[in-house]
Amino acid sequence: MKTCGRVFFHNARRLAAHKFTFTEVRYLSAQPKAESNIEVGSLSEIQMSVAKHLNLKTHLPSPLSKQMDTLGELVTLIRDPMMEIASCMRVVDKTLPALRLVLWGAFGTGKTVTLNQAVHHAYTNNWVIVHLRSAMDLTRRVKEIEMSSFVPGRINDPSNAVAVLQNFKQQNQHVWKTLGELFTERDYEWSKSERTAQGKPITEIIEMGITAPFLASDCVGALFRELRRHAKDGKLKALVAVDDANSLWGKTLVKRADRTYAPPSDLTLVVHFRRLIANDWTNGCVLMVADKKEVADARDELGVSRHTPLELFGEEGFEFVEPFLPIETTNYTESETNTLYDYYVRKNWLASKSARTEEGRKQLMHLSAFNPYYYERLCAFN
């Protein structure tokens, strides 16, 4: 299950709740370079064509993508963490090493949704987007494995590698032309017959990987390498958004020949993503989500694991991602719930009469304990 919640915010903690009877929906995508137009606490719509382009249906938490399907639009609330990310993305520069941001917060407070908003923000600013739905997919949902021919001991994961490449291709159609004009640094010899010569456009690497799954893992590495190099040269700006990034240092379900579990550092894709997270390149921003599902055990009914970065990344992962900027996602404030409530009422989504009363508004707020996920769940059947 994806961590859920809609990300929302508020600009006027001190303003009375009832002033938000109508909140203007802003069209972010209509205004490129729109950082200054993002307003905390306002609802922003991501156009359906853009959402489809960015494949948000699979990247968003399932309740929200269902909501997108039902309402026929994707409206999210801009909240403080998103503002912080936007201000961090503004400082990204050719000389500055890739900024690393870690989104952390309790269950359902909107880590994933903020991540998706950031991806959309990068899209509006014409950045290159590397978006991973969940790093846990790379470590725990590995369907088929191959031993790497490039580095002995490494384990390739063709299906996930192809998925990464395809997703990259789909999400970067807006800069595809630019990517086509960037050339490879050196010869890549994938196998005896397949090779990509120096000076070919890097989109060719992607196409190569998609058509030949057994090469895809290496292609991902080459692609990331080229991206980093070009970002350093200032030819592109890149946003690396990795959901559940702490799973890159978690446990895996991949078995080696001797039936022991392989450590994540043996998985090719994990290694490639780690290299992307390392800030030895410039002109980019790495956005990670520290999620509890890596360490939480569903069968452990008594233990409560922490949701703080050090706990989730572990010593090794923490030292790797340091220095980073932790960005906390929190529960709603009262005015945020009001904004959302008004939106639901306006869209006629709150169907029952009792929910539309003042009493219903208050109860929704307090029954969900201001948690975005539970607020949405409660609104879903009322």
Partner 1 sequence: MHRLTHVTARNKSTLADKLRSAVGGSDYGKTKQSFAGGSISAKDEQGEDFRELYVMPKRKLRGQTQLEQATGRAEYKTRSRFDLIDRLSERPPRSEEMDPEKQKWSDVWPAARTFAASVVPLPVRMGSRPNPEKRAPFKKEGNLELVKIPNFLHLTPVAIQQHCEAIKKFCTPFPPELLANESSSSSILPISVQYSTYIHQGTNIRDIRSRVVTMIVHVDSLKLSDSAMEKFIRLAGNRYDEKNRKLTIITDRCHTRKQNLDYAHYLLTVLYHEANKVEQWAEMKDRSDNLKVEFEGSSTKTKLVDLIEKAKTAGLESDEKSIEKFGEMWKTYRNSEETVEATREYGRQMKKLLGIN
Partner 2 sequence: MTTKLARFAQKRWISSTTSTSNMYDPRVFREPVTDVQELRKPLDADDERNFLFVKALKSDATPVFYRDHVIDKLIRVCTKDGEKETSRRNVHSALEIIKRRQYKAWAKASEEEKKGIELDPFVIAKKGIKNCHPLMKLQGVTRGGTTYQVPFPIEEPEAEFRAMKMMRDICRMRSKHGETHFKDILATELLAASQNEGSTIQAKQELHKTCEANRAYAHYRA
Residues contributing to the site for partner 2 (CB under 8 A):
66, 70-72, 348-349, 351-355, 357, 359-360, 363-364, 367, 380-382
Instruction: Output the smallest distance, CB 194 to partner 2, in A.
Output: 42
Give the closest residue to 39 by CA, choosing from 53, 25, 49: 25
Would you give the binding string for partner 1 spanning residues 322-351, x where CB under 8 A is met?
xxxxxxx-----------------------
> Applying CB under 8 A, does 91 fall inside the site for partner 1?
yes
What is the phi/psi pair of residue 59, to 5°? -85, -25
Classify 237 as helix, strand or coil.
coil
Sign of torsion, CA 275 280 284 290? positive
Residues 268-287: x/- map of binding to partner 1 (CB under 8 A)?
Answer: -----------x--x-----
Spatial contact of 84 and 121, defined as CB atoms under 8 Å apart: no
Instruction: Output the smallest distance, CB 331 to partner 1, in A.
Output: 12
Question: What is the per-residue DSSP string for 329-352?
Answer: E-PPPHHHHHHHHHHHHHTT---S
Nearer to partner 2, 1 or 91 (CB): 1
- Site for partner 1 contains 308 (CB under 8 A): yes
The Cα–Cα gap between 219 and 243 comes to 21
Site membership for partner 1, residue 319 (CB under 8 A): yes
311 binds partner 1 (CB under 8 A): yes
Smallest gap from Cβ 338 to partner 2, in A, equals 16
Residue 310 interacts with partner 1 (CB under 8 A): yes or no: yes
Number of residues that bind partner 1 (CB under 8 A): 23
Enter the tokens of residue 329. 């996602």
Q: Does residue 88 belong to the site contacting partner 1 (CB under 8 A)? A: yes
Q: Output the smallest distance, CB 112 to partner 2, in A.
A: 20
233 forms part of the interface with partner 1 (CB under 8 A): no
Question: Residue for token digits 């991206």?
Answer: 227
Q: Angle at the Cα of 155 (from 154 to 156), degrees rounded to 5?
A: 120
Element (H, E) at 114: helix 111-124
Q: Is 108 left (phi over 0), alpha (psi -120 to 50) or beta?
A: left
Neighbours of 111 (CB within 10 A): 32
Q: Are 312 and 104 in contact (CB under 8 A)?
A: yes
Q: Which does 39 bind (CB under 5 to 8 A by kind): partner 2, partner 1, none?
A: none
Judged by CB under 8 A, the chain residues 28 through 67 that form the site for partner 1 are none
Positions touching partner 1 (CB under 8 A) are: 87-88, 91, 93, 95-97, 104, 279, 282, 306, 308-311, 319, 322-328
